[in-house]
């Protein structure tokens, strides 16, 4: 039975890398290369590659591949990751009281655009429960206060462990995760926010931007790190505003952008199209 896998590689750039990788896949697994994309960082002298391939070779699993590929990886000083098309990743969505990103993700998941198991929704408000019930996704309401924040976060992490969660999506979750939480899911927590930072901070950035008369608004999706809102950027988008746009127009345009950049980031992550390095990302076609 044919297997489909994705191989992600980063290493020092040098001649012969593409040929060596392709020859290995063909010689070891009689692989049919379905898609290949590469990138060079000339300044840092680094090479990045994503290869999607299919094989009928029965021993092609993670353990067999690791044993066979390790000599080549050591020769070229490669960091690498192999993932198979199945099983799909288990995903959890965290949300507060802004529901536009959650609603968008749920719809995209229902229509098959996001290939994953949407395992649970976690919220510090109960506003999202009707949406969760409509899409039949388990919903966990855990109120967060200054006094119980550590206790609630531990309960959240227990839930993620129980469901073997691979990816956490912060769909406008208005709480700061602890360093312990972030370290438990490196490069596996995706957040979205407006792109007014650092100019307009606080709880009402669209109001502040409107008062300032901004001409461009945008949104950013990124991996979460221990440094708040400074993780590797995955996707950004912008749109123009004019004097004819009132505050509700700014908010609506901003939320539309947040939906787009978050869904793109999630889709790319689920299809193994992202490599992160030096606090930035390579997005493969």
Active site residues: 229
Tokens 């602890």 -> residue: 178
Task: Tell me the β-bridge partners of 169.
Answer: 93, 190
Q: What's the chain look like in SS3?
A: CCEEEEEEEEEECCCCHHHHHHHHHHHHHCCEEEEEEEEEECCCCEEEEEEEEEECCCCCCHHHHHHHHHHHHHHHCCEEEEEECCCCCEEEEEECCCCHHHHHHHHHHHCCCCCCEEEEEEECCCCCHHHHHHCCCCEEECCCCCCCHHHHHHHHHHHHHHCCCCEEEECCCCCCCCHHHHHHCCCCEEEEEECCCCCCCCCCHHHHHHHHCCCEEEEEEEECCCCCCCCCEEEEEEEECCCCCCHHHHHHHHHHHHHHHHHHHHHHHHCCCEEEECCEEEECC
Of 273, 91, 68, 272, residue with least CA distance to 185: 91
């Amino acid at each position: 039975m044919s297997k489909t896998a994705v191989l992600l590689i980063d290493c020092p750039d040098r001649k012969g890398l593409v040929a060596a990788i392709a020859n290995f896949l063909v010689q070891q697994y009689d692989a049919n290369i379905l898609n290949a994309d590469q990138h060079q960082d000339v300044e840092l002298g680094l090479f990045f590659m994503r290869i999607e391939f299919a094989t009928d070779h029965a021993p092609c699993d993670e353990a067999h591949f690791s044993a066979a590929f390790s000599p080549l990886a050591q020769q070229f000083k490669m960091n690498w990751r192999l993932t198979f098309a199945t099983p799909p990743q288990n995903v959890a969505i965290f949300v507060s009281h802004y529901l536009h990103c959650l609603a968008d993700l749920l719809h995209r998941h229902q229509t098959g655009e996001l290939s994953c198991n949407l395992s649970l929704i976690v919220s510090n408000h109960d506003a999202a429960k009707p949406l969760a019930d409509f899409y039949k996704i388990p919903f966990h309401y855990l109120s967060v206060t200054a006094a119980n924040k550590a206790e609630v976060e531990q309960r959240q992490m227990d839930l993620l462990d129980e469901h073997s969660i691979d990816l956490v999506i912060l769909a406008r979750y208005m709480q700061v995760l602890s360093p312990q939480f972030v370290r438990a899911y490196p490069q596996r927590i995706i957040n979205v926010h407006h792109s007014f930072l650092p100019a307009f901070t606080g709880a009402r950035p669209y109001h502040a931007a409107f008062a300032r008369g901004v001409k461009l608004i945008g949104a950013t999706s990124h991996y979460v790190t221990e440094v708040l809102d400074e993780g590797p950027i995955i996707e950004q988008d912008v749109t123009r505003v004019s004097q004819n746009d009132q505050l509700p127009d700014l908010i609506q345009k901003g939320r539309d952008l947040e939906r787009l950049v978050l869904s793109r980031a999630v889709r790319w992550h689920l299809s193994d199209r992202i490599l992160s390095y030096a606090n930035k990302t390579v997005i493969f076609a």
